[in-house]
Structure formats: structure tokens, C-alpha cells
Amino acid sequence: MTNQIAIALGLLIVAFIGGDLLLTGGDTLLFLGKKFDEFIEWLAFWR
């Protein structure tokens, strides 16, 4: 991955997080965080 691609992806992620915070107050990030936590626990069970 080149630096240019890494910077573009980083800016895209920051833009999506900023948009979520402005439009929904971070509800989507909270939902995804909770689902990710459940997924990690599920993976740990199968380990």
C-alpha cells in the first residue's frame, strides 16, 4: 500500500466517523462497537 492510498483511506474513515457524529450523534459507532464486542466474545468461545 502506498502512502497516497493510506492517506486517502484514513481521510475516508475520518470523514465517515465525522459524518456519523454530526448526523446521528455517534449512535451508529456505538452500535457497531457493541456488535464488535459480541463478535470478539463469540470468537473467544470458539478458540
Question: How confident is the model over 1-47, as pLDDT tens digits?
Answer: 899 999 999 999 999 999 999 999 999 999 999 999 999 999 998 77
Give the pLDDT confidence score for residue 15 in this predicted structure.
97
| Number of structural domains the chain divides into | 1
Residue with grid cell 466517523, as numbered in its chain: 17
8 lies in which domain range? 3-46
pTM, two decimals, is 0.70
d(C-alpha 28, C-alpha 12), whole Å: 16
